[in-house]
Amino acid sequence: MASQRYHVHEAGEGFRANPTPYHHFRLGIGETTARPFKLLVPILHDSFGDFALAVHLALQYAARFRHSLTTFAFFDNRPYKHDLIRLYPLPTKVMALRSRDAMAQINPLVFAPAHKLNGKYRSARDIVDDPRWHDMVFPWMHQQHVAHDLDMLPLRIPEGELSQLHAGLIGLGLDPNRWFACIHWREPTYRYKPIANLRDNDPQRYLPLIDHIIGMGGQVVRIGHPEMAHAAPRSGFVDLAVIPDSTLLQAYAASRARFCVSGTGGGACLMYLFGTPTASVDCIGWFDGSYGQYLLTQVLTTPEGQTLEQESLFESGLMNQRALEMAMAERPGFKLEQRSSAEIMAVADFMHRIIGDCPGWRTPVTPELEPDNRFVWPMRGGIRPRFIDL
């Protein structure tokens, strides 16, 4: 009986260059401008922090391809949504929908483009350019809270906006030759989300932080919204919170700050987008440590009189807002205590020490990432919160 033989033929450049619709859109994804990795990101959330983190996490996937096209779909009901997408440094398309119901009408053809249109075969480029078809529909909420082990790529201020935003901060009184810190806290007064919850902060505990940081030789930029508690103007303090719809200006400040001390409000998410060193105070969710922040939790006293904070709160399973709210509803007697002004200022001292010398505005650093044109799932990650030892 004759021996059976076979050989393996490696697909070469000629095969890959052949623009037939049967393999052009399946091979070489992300390798050329003609075949970008196509990512559809429908963002169902309206809140500032959730929307910002969705845009940021989408970048961590798209940037792994040399060429990509990200389509963001969202209900167009907040002015900051367009500004946040402008921070996305890769090619994008936008589906700004006029109603929430319209989101349900999105029906992308995933991995199964129609090869024929009106009875005729379509060209490869026509299939790739089909706006209904994408390589992946991105369910962003699945993993942003454990992805901080990655070298997270920052978003980027649009090049054409840099000089204007830089001049804008100087025009508001910020000295370009002295470092500054950002501050923020959550209040239930935001016009888009006037809802109280356990993450709300007492402004009177945070306001002394302004003079404390100025006393260190720095400056302070407050980010947030105009409905926040009034903060008296003074030299060395720039209050962006009082400027409506100042998302890009606040993002630029976040990208250049030496550090941030903040409560766990959505505005602080601007820091995560640019890798700005951040201390989260009064946090009650382990999610608050997802982007490498330094944490100082609220103090929880149980109905039995046990005091939980930092690691003990984390290990108890109650360092999660939903779990804590459920426990408080089921067993009365829990007590939450926020940190004092003295403790918050001590956190600023800690950040000043640990970040090191910074004579002027911080220069943003972008980690190097060599695209490998591969989608890796699951993304590696972990939960290792960094608790501040005061």
pLDDT in tens, the chain (390 residues): 667 899 999 888 888 777 676 677 777 889 888 889 999 999 988 999 999 999 998 998 899 999 999 999 999 999 999 999 999 999 999 999 999 888 888 877 777 778 888 999 888 888 888 888 888 888 755 555 555 555 789 999 999 999 999 999 999 999 999 999 999 999 999 988 888 889 999 999 999 999 999 999 999 999 999 999 999 999 999 999 999 999 999 999 999 999 999 998 889 999 999 999 999 999 998 877 777 889 999 999 999 999 999 999 999 999 999 999 999 999 999 999 999 999 999 999 999 999 988 889 999 888 888 899 887 776 666 778 899 998
CA-nearest of 360, 375, 298, 292 to 335 is 298
Burial degree of 208 (CB within 10 A; 0-12, 13-18, 19+)? middle
CA-nearest of 204, 152, 202, 209 to 343 is 209
Token pair 């490869």 is found at 124
State residue 194's pLDDT score: 84
Q: How far apart are CA 258 and CA 363, in angstroms?
A: 9
Q: What angle do CA 156, 157, 158 make, to 5 degrees?
A: 110
Is residue 272 classed as helix, strand or coil in its secondary structure?
helix
Burial degree of 99 (CB within 10 A; 0-12, 13-18, 19+)? exposed
Question: Both ends of the chain: CA-CA distance in Å?
Answer: 82
Token pair 């009189």 is found at 305
Is residue 246 classed as helix, strand or coil in its secondary structure?
coil
Q: How far apart are CA 252 and CA 86, in angstroms?
A: 12
State residue 71's pLDDT score: 96
Is residue 220 classed as helix, strand or coil in its secondary structure?
strand
State residue 337's pLDDT score: 97
Number of helices followed by number of strands (H, E) in the chain: 13, 18
Helices 79-86 & 247-256 angle (0-180, nearest 10):
40
Paired tokens of 186: 């959550």
State residue 145's pLDDT score: 57
State residue 27's pLDDT score: 78
CATH number 3.40.50.1220 is the correct assignment for the domain at 165-298+338-365: no
Q: How far apart are CA 61 and CA 30, in angstroms?
A: 12
Q: How far apart are CA 164 and CA 285, in angstroms?
A: 37
Paired tokens of 348: 């600023």
List the domain boundaries for the chain. Answer: 22-149, 165-298+338-365
Neighbours of 18 (CB within 10 A): 13
Which residues make Cβ contacts (< 8 Å) with residue 382, sequence separation at least 6? Answer: 146, 148, 149
Q: How far apart are CA 264 and CA 277, in angstroms?
A: 14
Q: Is the distance from CB of 335 to CB of 301 less than 8 angstroms?
A: yes
Which residues make Cβ contacts (< 8 Å) with residue 167, sequence separation at least 6? Answer: none
Give the rounded distance of the alpha carbon of 258 from its chain centre.
Answer: 18
Is residue 333 classed as helix, strand or coil in its secondary structure?
coil
Bridge pairing between strands 335-337 and 299-301? antiparallel
Q: Is the distance from CB of 148 to CB of 292 less than 8 angstroms?
A: yes
State residue 381's pLDDT score: 66
Q: Is the distance from CB of 298 to CB of 307 less than 8 angstroms?
A: no
Which residues make Cβ contacts (< 8 Å) with residue 27, sequence separation at least 6? Answer: 11, 16, 35
Helices in 157-246 by DSSP H: which ranges? 162-171, 203-206, 208-215
State residue 1's pLDDT score: 60
Kindly report the pTM of this predicted structure: 0.91
